[in-house]
Amino acid sequence: QVQLVESGGGLVQAGGSLRLSCAASGRYAMGWFRQAPGKEREFVAAITWSAGTTFYEDSVKGRFTIFRDNAKNTAYLHMNNLKPEDTAVYYCARHSYGTVWTRHTEYDYWGQGTQVTVSS
């Protein structure tokens, strides 16, 4: 049974920072998505298993950093300069196939989600 366990969400003021963690075993690329109330789930960032390549959604480029520690089987999403529009439930997911990293159908296992709330 594959399990992805997320942690690190919370409430932060605009301009603040948070770091999300996702514990997952196996040699897979990983991604982060988010879903705000009333909106569709959207891609945030992804990273290959070797960490040689990363991908970001345009609105988070320069503010968010995805990285991983394979010795700890953990992927991270470090978020700086948070904005109220970043408020959402954040999910990590295991990338199973394909090359369109933004497409959620290319991910087969998902974490339970962690709430990130940014106050203005």
Residue 51, pLDDT above cutoff 80: no
* CA distance linking residue 120 with residue 105, whole number of Å: 33
Residue 2, pLDDT above cutoff 90: no
* CA distance linking residue 76 with residue 65, whole number of Å: 8
- Whole-number average pLDDT of the chain: 94
pLDDT confidence tier of residue 26, bands split at 50, 70 and 90? confident
Q: Which residue has the tokens 């705000």?
A: 36
* CA distance linking residue 14 with residue 99, whole number of Å: 33
